Structure 1
Amino acid sequence: MSTTPKTLPKRSEVSPDHQWKLTDLFADQEAWDDTYEETKAQLKKFEEFRGKLSDASNIGACFKFEDEVSLKLEQLYVYTHLYHDQDTANPTYQALTQKGRKLLVDAGEAMSFITPEILSLDDAELDRLIDDESLKAYRFTLQEMKREKAHVLSGAEEALLAQVGNLSQAPQNIFGMLNNADLKFPNIEDEHGSEVELTHGSYIQFLESANADVRRRAFQAVYGTYAKLKNTIGASLTANVNKNMFYARARKYPSVLEMKLYGDNVPVSVYDNLVDSIHESLPILHRYMRLRKKLMGVDELHMYDLFAPLVDEFKMDITYDEAKQTVIDGLQPLGADYLQVLENSFKEGWIDIYENEGKRTGAYSSGAYGVHPYVLLNHKDNLNSMFTLAHEMGHALHSYYSDNTQTYRDAQYTIFLAEVASTTNEALLMDYLLKKATDPKEKMYLLTYYADQFRTTVFRQTMFAEFEKIIHARTEAGESLTPQDLSSIYYDLNVQYHGPDMVVDRDIEMEWARIPHFYNSFYVYKYATGFSAATSFSKQILDEGAPAVERYLSFLKSGGGDYSINILQKAGVDMSSREPVREAMSVFEALIEQMEQLSE
């Protein structure tokens, strides 16, 4: 008897109960078209403000109009991109998305004079505007403009830097083409003795194999391939460092690191504290490596063993309805108000749940101010999808609270803060699941899942961050940076981070050559700080209850109305100190203790 293979439903076949409700943004296509035409016509009005932005009344009127237009642009664009993502093959919404993007570009050009014109005022005039009561709603915007002023150049210099923009993308583009298009790995032998293709996508799957020979072959094949290209990739990474130095000097920053942190107004001490705190906590990671070695029952733990399974795959079949209820149960510590919003979101068309033909892969939270957030999922009945639901609802409720508390201009939170709310939800859910688990195998599976998040998100990203700091500091000091230097720095960091129970295979010295994040310099530290802040929040919530919940909700309501460090500090997480990382490390240590007890 033959069975018909299960195929994905077409979008038209998906139950309305499983779809998000985009009519909350625009009632129909006609309403979108009307708003589009109205907004397009409004762009011409910006010219009325050109040359007049020197007094409070004109600046206030201009900002107010800018907000009105920007809000409509956001709603227009979000509507098209959500429709497009639910069925990417639909030509109507492909065209509409392009139309929405084009309007955003036109709007950017129409508003481009506003900031330079205000910044042409002297500091005393800017200070008067910042203190003007009639501009109170725009105080933070004006403070930010003044803060940036020291690094904005003359019109001619800015025009020249803009022309260099395309050239500055060369290191990243060259690496991207080499890594994604030209680089080919050799075939390797799998656990069945068959020759199989090794690709970027399959590499981690091979590292997760229960067969050590398969893991070793994949590991050596990948880094052997990069080693053959070390001079070319070394040249592209060094060119990226030199590009960063050019911009830092042109814009009068003391260093590349300070330039990269300036946008979020994050002090260099936050970066240094992260690295120093992780150095202080390396014995805990070394303890985890020792435990991993014991659980795997091997005489030597190698770099290619880091993704190997520690326990047999524990099968967790979790339907969407079960996942939804478990997330609600797991987030009980956040209190009645949060839970009410969360439960309403499940009933009010915020979420597009299941995969369908043509739907965008992955998951995200998106939305436009003035309308509830939207969440795209591709739910599978497993543990990972349940954590994805908790994660994305963390983003969605962060946006909901910010939008409902802040003005349009101050509602958008920074990337530095973005992962905090989503990861706090995951930490609370994990705590709930661990307390509820009765099967030792299930508990070990969950503990391993969580411990590896600490290893990859906090330790590994901090090691990347430290590597970036070292290579930029060396170049700024006038030292050379050959491929051999890059490999030596990277290898030594791996030895330091992984400790005495790990055989640090020489091949790992080439890993720097395959990390695309190194071309988006000084970004990866945000993964580690965000995870640490979230772990600190969740620990405070579980330990203190109501007062910590109140502080956490105040964080969710703060949007981007202040600098990220200040927002976290007011809510009880001081990222300028070592305390949040230490709190996160105490959670990690407690996980390892539980794993050790279960393994006895």
Structure 2
Amino acid sequence: MNTNIKNRDEIEEQFKWNLGTMYKNADEVKQDLEKIKELLEQFKGYQGRLTDKETILEALQLQDRSDQLMEKSYTYAHMKLDEDIANTQALALFDQVKSLYVVYSEATSFFVPDLMKLDDEFLQSLAGDERFKDYRHFIREIGRNKEHILSDTEEKILSSFGEIAGAPKSIFQTLNNADLKFGQVINENNEPVELTHGRYQRLIQSGSREVRKAAYNELYRVYKSFKNTIAQTYINSVKKDCLYARLRKYNSALESSTFADNVDVSVYHNLIATIRHNISLLHRYIDFRKQVMQLPELHMYDLYVPLVTELNKNYSYQEAVDLVLQGLRKLGDRYVVDLKHGLENGWVDVYENKGKTAGAYSTGAYGYHPYILLNFNGTMNDVFTLAHEAGHAMHTFYSHKNQPYRNASYTIFVAEVASTLNENLLIHHLLAQTNDAKEKLYLLNYNLEQVRTTLFRQTMFAEFEKITHEKAEQGVSLTPEALSEIYYELNKFYYQGVRLDDEISMEWARIPHFYNAFYVYKYTTGFSAAVALANGILQGGPEELAKYLEFLGSGGKDYPLELLKKAGVDMEKPQPVEACLHSFDENLKLAAQLI
């Protein structure tokens, strides 16, 4: 494990993503920003004129052109900043793009309200016109959203607040990635190392209890010292969510979020109820972990260490790539060839460097290949992170390849399916490759940890969001102490059998997804759908694979629940979540037989 974080210019080019396929430099971005301004002036001329099919079609096509340029410039600018969030030139460019995005949103805000003034019969005639085939789902959404769209003036006002509304998220990201400084931790070799977000993920898996305890305590010491600032940031994010929902005539912020996917709030509530009803499975796993680790009591910092430390291997990046490609062979030759090409040709930014944003993600702009950001440290977890983000990237790649721009973007609800399915296939492959009992236990535990951290932990996060937003909507004051108490009580229910230290009450303060309200439950629904689809591919035949590949190429041409139904899984029923819990139960029994 390196003890020094490299500067960006010290990273080899082969391990950096190639943003040059989009723009060679900032000047080219600024040229596109000028083009966007010109297109906006043209687009404004359609206000009040959307009364006949020809004019509407022209406006839609012009909006597509300007949207693509806006998406491209925004994607490039935020990736450039994520390379080094302390880079003032990149920050200035991103601020310029964000500012134009607010102007862009304000200038185009008339479009949907004007279309909503059209009567339903005329809208239906548009959907039936072959010239509008690429816009049918968009037109259907116009009708569905009518009651939640405001007047022209009101929409323009809301759009003008876009940058301010995004302030809580932006402030948290800057604080979390650029300003928070952690101290040093003594590692397994008795060496002092600087604690970073990326290193924490490895240190918390250390075989040395003192190392992981020190990393855990140091991390939360720093977050606790900023609890008032972070709490106010998050509370204002919650208030923003509730305000926008109320202004758009939703019953709650939760309904506002689920409505966007055409998902009833009952899906959210039923998920929490199903997990709570089966929480004894998590408690059994905690008891199993305590037994294997031979500890009188478990602390939260004991939950991430692999149970078979002898198999805590370290992988080079190339070894990780090879493992992922082997594990995904069930998805067919075309998929593997396309992914291999991407991983070897500038899709991925591999290693941590000073100032680089924490975590991992995949992103992209229509007309260009997708990108993957990693902070690769060589752990098994990093191998699965690569498989996960590759799933996102290939979903984007095939959706962009097979859908027109208007239908190419899939919703967040289905975004985690392809990524999690990849992880499921990889774990199945690795288990099939070994007869060694210790290695099987290691891999089974990794799979159990996937379920713990996704199905159980993300549902706990979803409960936290539900409670905080409901309290804000009821007029109950949220304070740093109240947030910590809510979070601590949830941990008491979910992690019965674990000795809860005070530090865990501050974990809410470091979860970036909380600034995308009601996002995290989609990890759980996506995970459950992915398990069902993976089982279908592994146990079925060409038909199951064909349906899944069709799903990958479907983008957002239909509502997410309908896309999943066509792929072979119905998330409006409890069976996918229950089946995933059953799989967890079976793997826990298998693991118990190996000790």
Interval containing the TM-score (normalised by the shorter chain): 0.7 to 0.9
| Aligned twin of 1:596 | 592
| Higher-Rg member (1/2) | 1
| Aligned twin of 2:290 | 293
Segment drifting more, 154-163 vs 254-263: 154-163
CA distance in 2, matches of 1:6, 1:484: 35
| Aligned twin of 1:464 | 461
| Aligned twin of 1:271 | 268
User: Please, which runs of 5 or more residues in structure 2 have no aligned partner?
Assistant: none
TM-score, with length taken from structure 1: 0.81
CA distance in 2, matches of 1:324, 1:198: 27
CA RMSD of aligned residues (A): 4.6
| Aligned twin of 2:403 | 406
- Asked if 1:563 is matched to 2:559, the reply is yes
What are the Cα deviations for residues 205-240 of structure 1, in whole angstroms up to 9, with x where unaligned?
Answer: 665455556666776777688778878876765555
The answer on whether the counterparts of 2:250 and 2:256 sit within 8 Å (CA) in structure 1 is yes
Segment drifting more, 360-369 vs 544-553: 360-369
| Aligned twin of 1:52 | 49
| Aligned twin of 1:251 | 248
CA distance in 1, matches of 2:316, 2:350: 11
- Asked if 1:552 is matched to 2:535, the reply is no
TM-fit CA distance, 1:264: 2.2
CA distance in 2, matches of 1:329, 1:186: 40
- Secondary structure of the 1:150 match is helix
TM-fit CA distance, 1:65: 2.4
TM-score, with length taken from structure 2: 0.81
Which amino acid is the alignment partner of residue 390 of structure 2?
Answer: M
What are the Cα deviations for residues 418-454 of structure 1, in whole angstroms up to 9, with x where unaligned?
Answer: 2221221121011101111244333333333332222
TM-fit CA distance, 1:263: 1.9
| Aligned twin of 2:446 | 449
Which amino acid is the alignment partner of residue 556 of structure 1?
Answer: L
CA distance in 2, matches of 1:227, 1:371: 42
CA distance in 2, matches of 1:164, 1:59: 27
- Asked if 1:534 is matched to 2:516, the reply is no
The answer on whether the counterparts of 2:315 and 2:378 sit within 8 Å (CA) in structure 1 is yes
- Asked if 1:339 is matched to 2:366, the reply is no
Distance 1:52 1:173, change over 3 A: closer
What are the Cα deviations for residues 224-261 of structure 1, in whole angstroms up to 9, with x where unaligned?
Answer: 88778878876765555444433332221112210122
CA distance in 2, matches of 1:291, 1:593: 10
| Aligned twin of 1:151 | 148
- Secondary structure of the 2:548 match is helix
TM-fit CA distance, 1:158: 3.8
| Aligned twin of 2:578 | 582
What are the Cα deviations for residues 88-138 of structure 1, in whole angstroms up to 9, with x where unaligned?
Answer: 999998888777767766655553432232233344544444444543321
- Find 2:134's aligned residue among 130, 137, 159: 137
User: Please, which runs of 5 or more residues in structure 1 have no aligned partner?
Assistant: none
CA distance in 2, matches of 1:275, 1:215: 30
Distance 1:103 1:259, change over 3 A: closer
**Pairing 1:195-210 to 2, within 5 Å after superposition:** 207-208=204-205, 210=207
**Pairing 1:259-408 to 2, within 5 Å after superposition:** 259-312=256-309, 314-345=311-342, 349-352=345-348, 355=351, 364-375=361-372, 382-408=379-405
The answer on whether the counterparts of 1:355 and 1:379 sit within 8 Å (CA) in structure 2 is yes
Distance 1:372 1:289, change over 3 A: same
CA distance in 2, matches of 1:382, 1:193: 20
Which amino acid is the alignment partner of residue 534 of structure 2?
Answer: S
TM-fit CA distance, 1:406: 1.2
TM-fit CA distance, 1:8: 7.9
The answer on whether the counterparts of 2:462 and 2:518 sit within 8 Å (CA) in structure 1 is yes
| Aligned twin of 1:494 | 491
The answer on whether the counterparts of 1:327 and 1:386 sit within 8 Å (CA) in structure 2 is yes
Distance 1:457 1:48, change over 3 A: same
| Aligned twin of 2:517 | 521
Between the aligned residues of both structures, percent identity stands at 45
Distance 1:447 1:181, change over 3 A: same
Which amino acid is the alignment partner of residue 400 of structure 2?
Answer: D
The answer on whether the counterparts of 1:265 and 1:563 sit within 8 Å (CA) in structure 2 is yes
The answer on whether the counterparts of 1:20 and 1:351 sit within 8 Å (CA) in structure 2 is yes
Which amino acid is the alignment partner of residue 142 of structure 2?
Answer: M
CA distance in 2, matches of 1:96, 1:168: 20
- Secondary structure of the 2:313 match is coil
The answer on whether the counterparts of 2:185 and 2:214 sit within 8 Å (CA) in structure 1 is yes
| Aligned twin of 2:430 | 433
Distance 1:376 1:135, change over 3 A: same
CA distance in 2, matches of 1:141, 1:550: 26
TM-fit CA distance, 1:288: 0.8
Aligned length: 591
The answer on whether the counterparts of 1:333 and 1:545 sit within 8 Å (CA) in structure 2 is no
Which amino acid is the alignment partner of residue 420 of structure 2?
Answer: T
The answer on whether the counterparts of 1:424 and 1:534 sit within 8 Å (CA) in structure 2 is yes
CA distance in 2, matches of 1:298, 1:556: 45
What are the Cα deviations for residues 130-154 of structure 1, in whole angstroms up to 9, with x where unaligned?
Answer: 4445433212112222322212223
The answer on whether the counterparts of 1:313 and 1:445 sit within 8 Å (CA) in structure 2 is no
| Aligned twin of 1:424 | 421
TM-fit CA distance, 1:296: 1.3
**Pairing 1:184-203 to 2, within 5 Å after superposition:** none
Which amino acid is the alignment partner of residue 546 of structure 1?
Answer: P
TM-fit CA distance, 1:490: 3.5
Which amino acid is the alignment partner of residue 495 of structure 2?
Answer: H
Distance 1:511 1:72, change over 3 A: closer
- Secondary structure of the 1:550 match is helix
Segment drifting more, 533-542 vs 483-492: 483-492
The answer on whether the counterparts of 2:149 and 2:248 sit within 8 Å (CA) in structure 1 is yes
Which amino acid is the alignment partner of residue 70 of structure 1?
Answer: D
The answer on whether the counterparts of 1:56 and 1:134 sit within 8 Å (CA) in structure 2 is no
The answer on whether the counterparts of 2:5 and 2:353 sit within 8 Å (CA) in structure 1 is no
The answer on whether the counterparts of 1:8 and 1:355 sit within 8 Å (CA) in structure 2 is no
